[in-house]
Structure formats: structure tokens, C-alpha cells
Copies of this chain bind each other. A is one copy, B any other.
Amino acid sequence: MNIGFVGVGRMGANMARHLKDRQFQITAVYDINRAKATSVAAEVGCAASQDLSEVTAESDVIFTVVTDDNAVRQIFTGAGDNLLVNARGKLFINCETISPGVEIDVEKLVHQAGAESLEACMASSITQARDGKLYLMCGGDEETFRKAEPILKELGSVVRYIGKSGEAAKVKALVNMVMNINTAGLAEGLALGAALGLDLEMLRQVFSQTGAASRVLETDGEDMQNREHSCFFSAAHAAKDSGIALNLARSLGLDLPLARATKEQYDRMIAEGLGELDKSGIAELTFKDRSALRKKAAD
């Protein structure tokens, strides 16, 4: 089985590295950042593809790990060059977090091209990608899922079939929406604790033992305190994903004030040049004594 990758940012690159370690053949790597593609291609032992159609030609299974709705539309429908040229019999596995509607549109186009597609949304980060321990939520035809399951199990410690195309994207948007709310709320709690002069080690420990406990307290609490915002999951991605959920809510006539307030905070980070900090960087907005230092943090 020949495997191609479109989008080799840190997630895609780590997935490719892991599959190579597991003796899979990576035959094509593409990224709009040509230098990135060349570097990752050299690592995994293939050439960097010049065109998207080349990836399709050289691979049986193509993983796409690009940024957002527009990027996905571009790689599947771009004029002149796209992944669906001579795509008959190929399997596309789409791993980015995008709007459910786009997943559904893409699946239709893929089917029209005589190929198959699956969404495999990742609720984990770059470390898990490198270790083949992703949490994968999959949507699409169940038959396609069963076919893809062995390779997905190489990449994920949990590989879960959610339902038809778009369903996994919905669940993924909700996971990130709630995670982002909890993150923004935690930042407020720690920031107020700091402003009150409380010992934040103690405060985090009390949070962990009470109704304030959360997964993000474990993953981001200490980083918020120590201003360690090396990026695992960027504020810009957090804003995007909360935005996907809010668009879904809007289309259904639901108002979600917490999700809205959270999206506004992540948008503010982007506006202040902090979008490429980790999501824990939201604490930079709320800690009282940090505003003056924000520019520095963004440098």
C-alpha cells in the first residue's frame, strides 16, 4: 500500500514519521510550504510532490492534514490541479478539523471521481501523532471505515466510527468547543487567583480535587501559571474550531453565550498577535500583570 500525505505541518509530518517507523511505504508528500514538504519527504524517503495530482497518482491512500475549510476545498477542487484528477479507486482520509458541511461536499465529489473518502478527526495533539496514539473519530461509509481501520489503528489508540460523513466533524467541533470554554474559564480562575495573591500551586491542586477539575487543568494549568505557551494546539485553531461550532449553532437557531465569549477571547488573541501561541496562551489575556508583556510573548 502506497501512502501519500497532503499537509505536513507538525501533525501530518508526525503521522507520516510514525507510519514510516511502522514500515509503511510513504510515496508522496505535498505541502503548500515547499520547504516543509521537501524536508519531510527526505525524512520519510520519498520525493516532495510538485502537484496534488501527483500525490494521487503515486498513492493508494492519501491522508489530508491541512488547516481549514478553504484549504480542503482548494485541494479537492482547485482549478488546474487537485487531488481528484484520475482518482478512481483511491482512498482519501481527511484528518483536519473542518465544518461538517464541507466533509459532506467533499465526500460527494470524491464519490463522483470513483474514489472513497473518510473523515478521521483527531482529538489529540502532535505528541500522540508521533507515537501513533491519536484519538480518531471517523465518519463516512461504514464499509470504507472497515477498509481503512487497519491503517487507522496504526495511527490511533482509539479509532471510533461515529457515523456517516460529517458526523465525526460535528463531534470534533463540540469537543473543541467545550475544551476551549474550559480553557478560557480556567485562565480566568487562575488569573483572578493570581490577582488575589493566592498561591497558584495550591489553587491548581484544590481545583483538581473539586468541581473545578478538568482535563485542561491537567494539560494547561501549569503552563498558564508558568507562561509556557509553546504551541501544541494554537489559539488560532481554537478560534477556528469554536467558530465551526458556533456556525452550526447559528444554523440551528441556538445561542451559546459561553462559546461566543470564548471565541471572542481567541479572536482577541489573534488580533493581538498571539494566535500562534498554544491555546493555554489565553491566560496572557486574563492575568492582570501580563498585558504590558504581551508584545514580548508574541515575539
Q: Which residues of A pack against B, CB within 8 Å?
A: 123-124, 135, 137, 158, 160, 162, 167, 170-171, 174-179, 181-182, 184-186, 188-189, 191-193, 195-196, 198, 202-203, 206-207, 209-216, 219, 245, 248-249, 252-254, 256-262, 264-265, 286, 288
Which residues of B lie under 8 Å from residue A206 when comparing CB positions?
Answer: 123, 137, 160, 171, 175
Q: In the complex, how many angstroms separate the beta carbon of A257 from the nearest chain B beta carbon? A: 4
Alpha-carbon distance A36/B148, docked complex (angstroms): 64
A207 cross-chain contacts in B, Cβ below 8 A: 174-175, 178
Decide: B254 and A288 in contact? CB cutoff 8 A: yes
Whole-angstrom distance between the alpha carbons of A162 and B203 in the complex?
10
Known: A181-B181, A192-B249, A206-B160. A174 touches B256 (CB 8 A): no
Residues of chain B contacted by A135 (CB below 8 angstroms): 209-210
Closest to A184 in B: B258
Contact status B182-A177, CB under 8 Å: no
Copies in the complex: 2
| Interface residues of chain A: helix, strand, loop or mixed (majority) | helix
Q: Which residues of B contact A178 (CB under 8 A)?
A: 185-186, 188-189, 207, 211-212
Which residues of B lie under 8 Å from residue A175 when comparing CB positions? 206-207, 210-212
User: Given A137-B206, A249-B195, are A265 and B254 neighbors across the interface (CB < 8 Å)?
Assistant: no
The residue in A209, A210, A248, A258 that gathers the most chain B C-beta atoms within 10 A of its C-beta is A258
How close is A167's CB to chain B, nearest CB, in angstroms? Answer: 7
- List 6 A-B pairs, minimum CB-CB distance, nearest first: A181-B185, A179-B211, A214-B214, A178-B212, A213-B215, A178-B189
Q: Determine the chain B residues whose CB is within 8 A of the CB of A191 once the complex forms.
A: 254, 256
Q: Are B264 and A257 in contact (CB under 8 A)?
A: yes
Q: Is the CB of B286 within 8 A of A256?
A: yes
Known A189-B177, A258-B188; contact A182-B288, beta-carbon cutoff 8 A: no
